[in-house]
Structure formats: structure tokens, C-alpha cells
Structure 1
Amino acid sequence: MGENSNVKLPPGFRFDPTDEELVVHFLQRKAALLHCHPDVIPDLELYPHDPWELDGKALCEDNQWYFYSRRMQIRCTSNGYWERMGIDEPVVNSINKRVGMKRYLVFYIGEGPAAIKTSWITQEYRLSGSDSGTAKSSKSSGHSKIDYSKWVVCRVYEKNCSEEDDDGTELSCLDEVFLSLDDMDEISLPLN
């Protein structure tokens, strides 16, 4: 179960939820302020962290990291940013009723047009508008109210770099980085 030492689970426990289970059994319960058992998914703000920093902070299972985070419009870290891929997909339950939405984000290192696309992917799950409600909670320590309908549950993973690209060629992660460098002429090697 990764490095998350706060989680005490029985031997043999594997966390491999479906999209429906992440939304219905975890995110809906969190939004409704109900206890999840086992309570294994931690709260974590994704965007201050680069994806390779999640180990030990989020629930890890088979090189996938799970955590709750608040929905945010700005998704920047100190080394890059998360950018939305494609359109959101509905998450449906066993009777084909929409219970949530899934958004894909990819991590880029750097800024603007010079940023380098990485193989890190986030699947961000949120409740459907009718299911999110307006549940609010006020902590006993006097902190401001938290709107739990704005929470998402995230699954972060690194896509296999040897997967085929759209044009059928296979590139390693290092090949992708080197090909993304625009100014190869400016690179000089030391002479011996």
C-alpha cells in the first residue's frame, strides 16, 4: 500500500476501485460528511505538489495515487502545470444513471509554449451537479466554512512511456524530452 503509514489495513488488502466506486462510495460520502470505512483516501492539495512528490502523501496502490482535493481552476506547481485533456466523461452507475464526471489532466514541465508534456496523468472525479448538494461544515477550531461539494477525488499515475503514439512509432520518455527541445543548435558539449 505504498508509503502511507497512517493507513492500517489488513494483509492482502488491495485498493482497486472502479470509477463508479470512487464517486459513489467515497466522494458522495465525503460530500455528505459521512464516514467512509475504511477511511483510506487522504485529503491533499494536488496543485502545490509535482506528481512525483505524491509518494507518502497520498494512498498508493500499483503506482496509482488516490486522494481528495478541492476543485481549483489554477493547477500550477513550482515546476509546471496540469492541463485539461479532451472533454469530461460521465461516470454512470449500474443502472446507467450519471453519478459524476471524470476529467483527464496531463502534467507539463515549464511554462507556456516551451513547456514539456510529461507522461503524468490525473483523473479528477467530481459529483454531478444534482448530487453535489450544498453541504457545508465548520470546524470546531473556528476555521472558515468548507464547502464539501467542491471536493474531487483524484487518481494520479504515470502513463507507460513505451505505449505507441498516434503515428504508430514508439518513443521512450527520454526520446520525448529530447525531441521537445527546440534549440538543439545551442547545446554544446564540453571538449576533452
Structure 2
Amino acid sequence: MGDNNANLPPGFRFYPSDEELVVHFLHRKAALLPCHPDVIPDLELYPYDPWELDGKALAEGNQWYYYSRRTQNRVTGNGFWKAMGIEEAVVTSSSNKRVGMKKYYMFYMGEASNGIKTNWIMEEYRLPDCASSSSRSSKRKSQPKADYSKWVICRVYERNGDGDDDDDGRELSCLDEIFLSLDDLDEISLPN
């Protein structure tokens, strides 16, 4: 993990679920509550290309985590983040209650009209738009809740370029590699 994690105990690993990212980190950040341990940095994503996140965002394996202000501008120095059209609800495991939303983005090199698709993926987590129903009744009451929509938490990673869309950024175990290498039984010579 990066240099900003010097106060963490030995062996600390950061592999939060979607629910944990939203409930224990993003909700606390948006509500201006302290978060212990405070390991995820604030970072404006859009000046940085994804490969520049190392050393700036919280790194765990080949994934980077950071808070950012929600914005429509997703253009970096060398490309842009394009929405993949996939947005899903983040729900609690205990009550199946919706606590946030997750949207996927893919990084493209170049300009929007003729960008080249890369293997970089961003999962952007936001809190649900709970202020929309109360904004009809009273503008003053919805002002404190408007801050919730300003923060997002992002998970960025580079998936393998072998066309495997199911890669979650985790390495294969030795046994997994052995089983995957046994896909062509014709090449294995068996004793007589």
C-alpha cells in the first residue's frame, strides 16, 4: 500500500465490499464524520491518468481507492473516462436496503470523438439521491442533504487484456493456474 498508510498495523489489507465502501467510508465522509482508520485520500481524479494514481491514491494490489468530488468532467491529460452504461444498486447484506449506487467507467486514450479503448476500469460509488423527494417540499430542508451528492469514492484497476471480462483484480492461486493449464487434455501424455 502507499506511503499514506504508515500508521496501519502490520498485515493490514484493504479489500472492502461495495457495501463497506459506501456505508463505512463514503457515508461518513459525506456526513463529515471521522473515519478510523482514515486511509482513503481525497484526490481530484480528472487531472490524473489512471496509471498516475500509484503513490497518490490508496493502493491495494492492483486497485486504487480515493475520494473525489462528483463532477461531469471526466477528461484527463491523455484521455477520458466514458460511462459503460452500467449502474447498479449497492445494497446491505442484512436487509437488502439500497445504500448507494455504483457506476462503471472505461478509460479511453485520446479525444472523445476517436478515443482508443484501454483496459482501465473505474467503479464510482455514490450515495442515493435522497434529497430529490424532499426538495419538492422545502428547499431549505434539502440543503444539508445536498452535500451527500458531492462526494464519490472510486476504485480504479486495470483488467487483463486477454478478453476476460470477469477479472476482479485478484491474482490466481497456484491451484487455479494448474487447473487452467489443463484445458487441453490432448497435450498430456498418460503412462501406459
State the TM-score, normalizing by the size of structure 1. Answer: 0.75
Q: CA deviation at 1:8?
A: 1.7
Paired residues, what number? 155
Q: Could you tell me which residue of structure 2 aligns to residue 99 of structure 1?
A: 99
| 1:17 alignment partner AA | P
CA shift in 2, pair 1:131/1:34, >3 Å: farther
Q: Could you tell me which residue of structure 2 aligns to residue 17 of structure 1?
A: 16
Q: Could you tell me which residue of structure 2 aligns to residue 130 of structure 1?
A: 130
Q: Deviations over 1:52-98 (max 9, x none)?
A: 00000000001100000011111001100000002310000021000
| 1:69 alignment partner AA | S
RMSD: 2.1
Q: Could you tell me which residue of structure 2 aligns to residue 151 of structure 1?
A: 151
Quick one: distance in 2 between partners of 1:131 and 1:33?
17
Quick one: distance in 2 between partners of 1:4 and 1:148?
28
> Percent identical across equivalent pairs?
68
Quick one: distance in 1 between partners of 2:91 and 2:164?
29
Q: CA deviation at 1:135?
A: 3.8
Q: Deviations over 1:116-158 (max 9, x none)?
A: 100000000000112897448xxxxxxxxx9453100000000
Quick one: distance in 2 between partners of 1:112 and 1:45?
20
SS, match of residue 37 in structure 2: coil
CA shift in 2, pair 1:56/1:131, >3 Å: farther
Is the contact between residue 4 and residue 60 of structure 1 (CA under 8 Å) also seen in structure 2? no
Q: Could you tell me which residue of structure 2 aligns to residue 53 of structure 1?
A: 52
Q: Deviations over 1:6-65 (max 9, x none)?
A: 542110000000000000000000111100000000000001100000000000001100
Q: Could you tell me which residue of structure 1 aligns to residue 30 of structure 2?
A: 31
| 2:103 alignment partner AA | R
Q: Could you tell me which residue of structure 2 aligns to residue 68 of structure 1?
A: 67
Q: CA deviation at 1:4?
A: 2.7
| 1:157 alignment partner AA | Y
Unaligned runs of 5+ in 1: 137-145, 166-192
CA shift in 2, pair 1:164/1:20, >3 Å: closer
